[in-house]
Structure 1
């Protein structure tokens, strides 16, 4: 088992400079892009979880506190964040106060892709030192007595040319039978080499190739009788144009060979996206990649990674999602292989169904919510707290009654069932109607698609409720803002009276 990792290639430095001065230290709690309105409960977390700019993240735990390390930003070199619950992260300090000076030939090198490990009484922080577009790179080591630093640079561990190999960046250290190994690589093959016992140098002659070209950021995970090699494929660092994603292979021994889900030897890979994805972007999050894996105190595996952009912001953010396993022991991240906007917190049940999909990975996590109209601010409720089939659904100011509480449950097919807590009945379009103006009411479960809803993320913490049977949106009739105004279905007209927020109860 490894206790930290992280990696990449392509221009981290210039992309991070585009974030702008000051943003890296403006941390302040959970990100809300692509998520429901802010949830302070301890049962769910919202992505992005981390401070802005924490690319190529690496994680470690010390005495119940978790520490994250990221690629340099315009404000500091290897920023550090900490958390006591593994999902609320706050900026701490930079690990290094100046860029190490040992890079051989290039000026103004970037300090990228940290990998953190506790070894022999000290915290070892491995980092990449390179210039964008150059093959002349290396991996260095800085050490500290404490995880929050300060770290003292110890110089290079490996440099391009040491083993007649180039582009030595994106380190992941791993213990194999008590012996430390260094795994690395970016776009010119992924390799491993044995390290000496102090873990400050390599052992020439022990190196071997693990995977082919056009991939980077290797991370090792040992479980289920396998060694898993997770790596990033595609283009990073291009904002909304990024094509970054995670792929993987596995072997029964650390030295391989590593094969993917299609039976392809990873050494035969030669192009971006030649492998099988285990995490790729969606409408909310672009370019998930360069990850670490971390096993929480309850034994759950977590994938920490960054995205190149969110639906609201073309900036890198730190993300996290659970790693589950399918029936053939292949990793499934975030239940369905796409970044979650919110999901059950560490220590809570995953929310995935038995097939490794559903539950926690959709726009809204399973749970109980106040559903408020974005135009009026009033809550969706069953009129007069009715409990009968056919009772009307409307908007009303918050009364604190359970008739305004709704349980949202993923159906496993991309739709949700929405049931009233007070009555236990389903939100539906009356009579399975498909026309504009047809009424929304509650009714006993009929297993009809008129009782199924697609929740579409509209950005800014707002969502559309689309009836699966009719394809029409739930809205407040006439864009009304008064107590008691009716809720009906209508074609999408872009109005805020057709948008809703979900606040956990």
Structure 2
């Protein structure tokens, strides 16, 4: 690699790197392999594990081709040796989980400034693949300016033909660095958004996307943000913004905050009702994706929708069980993550509890056959044979178990949602089984409350080899169990980390109307169910 021209590179650079990408590339790109990483699955094939690719795939953007393949693009940089820098690394995946390195977007560096290519944004538009990119000067000499350029390709894996810069810092009326582009075409008008902790701005583009229209500048949110993602769902435009420190390793404070508007160009407000134009301080608004004990500083990603209609967020974060930096302290080891976006009262709940998942149900789970058919059931604990029910009639009544279903509110209506999870509605009260207060800790109480769409009211049902089921909460990732493995009638039902106990296993026994109010049938009936989007 030391023989590469740092500006143009060899003519076969992309082919060389594509060939090497599937194998370990230590020695070519520093001491850490950047090759393809196949995602490890969780307790069965219905689960995947984060991170999906690393140790360096920062600022990912994602698009899907007509053949169903997902393509992801990212920043890559080396401040030690620019020959080690990939000119927009590309990954491909058939399923959003298993990613393969596919090469670089460019054969050579864009020529209008000598810089690192950051934060690409790729879209398929008007018959071509369009790549907007940030160019950050590698030299700090006079006249070097950050800016945004555009390139196009007939195929998602390139090579992309550079069409030069759209604009740099001196060419627009706003402060801050001109980086982190995000493209949106709405009602025939193409817009480009950008910004770096001085406001998120926009401008209209010309039809061929290679120039801007003077006098169409504007701003949508305050100076707390960079790394924008903007998309429309159910009558609202959503702004996902990254706020905090991205690049201080495990001490980084990056997180995702969200605003929404009925109009693409605003005004946007967050879930507290605060106008996003007033958000000028890092990490001051409601957090929609933040740290947990293992994963740090999630942010700067993109949104895609899978075949069952579920929304997914690809982003980067640090794994504290892995590297903090790549080489000699830079660049930071920001890896590729994927988590589902659930929706509650019109607001996104990323990853179920607002922190990155270590394991989670795979995308398109709703396209698989339903493990349990929709219908009305008794839910019977395997260890005790007792029935899941509710010890009361009102909001917050606790789930307990009883020796039989007579008069115990033990009938449950199972409804399968489009993403493959279930809602359990009590047939007597009409209320929904949930983990109280969206608590994610072991021992949190299971209760009934009116349906609100939050992940804490959604359950994944997974069949075990013996035909029994675990009910795994979408918010916490923990399972419903009888507390303390009790065999007593009236024992409390809570959530706990899966430990393979019979008190954590359940049977679904269909309720048939035999005229006596009792139940008959056997558990474990499978079927396709119906798909309801929530």
Taking the aligned partners of 2:352 and 2:422, their CA distance within structure 1 comes to 5
2:134 corresponds to which residue?
128
User: SS at the partner of 2:75?
Assistant: coil
Alignment partner of 1:28 is 2:37:
yes
Taking the aligned partners of 1:94 and 1:411, their CA distance within structure 2 comes to 36
Alignment partner of 1:57 is 2:38:
no
Taking the aligned partners of 2:477 and 2:341, their CA distance within structure 1 comes to 20
User: SS at the partner of 1:136?
Assistant: coil
Note closer, same or farther for the CA distance 1:446–1:88 as it changes in structure 2 (3 Å cut): farther
User: SS at the partner of 2:277?
Assistant: helix
Taking the aligned partners of 1:414 and 1:25, their CA distance within structure 2 comes to 30
Alignment partner of 1:46 is 2:62:
no
Taking the aligned partners of 1:323 and 1:408, their CA distance within structure 2 comes to 20
CA contact (8 A) 2:37 2:53 kept: no
Note closer, same or farther for the CA distance 1:411–1:56 as it changes in structure 2 (3 Å cut): closer
Note closer, same or farther for the CA distance 1:368–1:192 as it changes in structure 2 (3 Å cut): same
1:417 corresponds to which residue?
480
Note closer, same or farther for the CA distance 1:194–1:272 as it changes in structure 2 (3 Å cut): same
Taking the aligned partners of 2:474 and 2:306, their CA distance within structure 1 comes to 28
Q: Tell me the TM-score normalized by structure 2.
A: 0.64
Note closer, same or farther for the CA distance 1:248–1:24 as it changes in structure 2 (3 Å cut): farther
Alignment partner of 1:147 is 2:156:
yes
Residue 214 of structure 1 deviates from its aligned partner by: 2.9
Taking the aligned partners of 2:251 and 2:56, their CA distance within structure 1 comes to 17
Note closer, same or farther for the CA distance 1:252–1:335 as it changes in structure 2 (3 Å cut): same
Alignment partner for residue 243 of structure 1, among 253, 277, 280?
Answer: 253
CA contact (8 A) 1:170 1:218 kept: yes
Unaligned runs of 5+ in 1: 1-16, 370-400, 419-425, 432-442, 456-462, 469-505
Taking only aligned residues, the RMSD between alpha carbons, in angstroms, comes to 3.2
CA contact (8 A) 1:352 1:358 kept: no
Taking the aligned partners of 2:37 and 2:218, their CA distance within structure 1 comes to 43
Greater shift in the superposed pair: 280-289 or 335-344 = 335-344
Residue 352 of structure 1 deviates from its aligned partner by: 7.7
1:11 corresponds to which residue?
none
Taking the aligned partners of 1:217 and 1:412, their CA distance within structure 2 comes to 26
CA contact (8 A) 2:461 2:469 kept: no
CA contact (8 A) 1:59 1:294 kept: yes
Taking the aligned partners of 1:267 and 1:83, their CA distance within structure 2 comes to 37
Residue 131 of structure 1 deviates from its aligned partner by: 4.1
Alignment partner of 1:453 is 2:496:
yes
Note closer, same or farther for the CA distance 1:284–1:198 as it changes in structure 2 (3 Å cut): same
CA contact (8 A) 2:196 2:227 kept: yes
1:162 corresponds to which residue?
171
1:115 corresponds to which residue?
121
Taking the aligned partners of 1:358 and 1:313, their CA distance within structure 2 comes to 32
CA contact (8 A) 1:27 1:52 kept: no
Residue 257 of structure 1 deviates from its aligned partner by: 1.0
Residue 132 of structure 1 deviates from its aligned partner by: 8.0
CA contact (8 A) 1:95 1:149 kept: yes
Q: Tell me the TM-score normalized by structure 1.
A: 0.67
| 1:398-409 correspondence to structure 2 within 5 Å | 402=466, 407=470, 409=472
User: SS at the partner of 1:214?
Assistant: coil
CA contact (8 A) 1:24 1:75 kept: no
Of structures 1 and 2, the one scoring higher in RCO (CA 8 A, sep 6+) is 1
Note closer, same or farther for the CA distance 1:464–1:219 as it changes in structure 2 (3 Å cut): same
Note closer, same or farther for the CA distance 1:90–1:430 as it changes in structure 2 (3 Å cut): closer
Q: Which digits, 9 at most, give the CA deviation of each residue in 1:26-64, with x for residues without a partner?
A: 2231167xxx46x5x2x2222222343111111111121
Taking the aligned partners of 2:171 and 2:244, their CA distance within structure 1 comes to 27
Residue 318 of structure 1 deviates from its aligned partner by: 0.8
Alignment partner for residue 181 of structure 1, among 191, 194, 199?
Answer: 191
Alignment partner for residue 220 of structure 1, among 221, 225, 230?
Answer: 230
2:355 corresponds to which residue?
338
How many aligned positions are there? Answer: 377
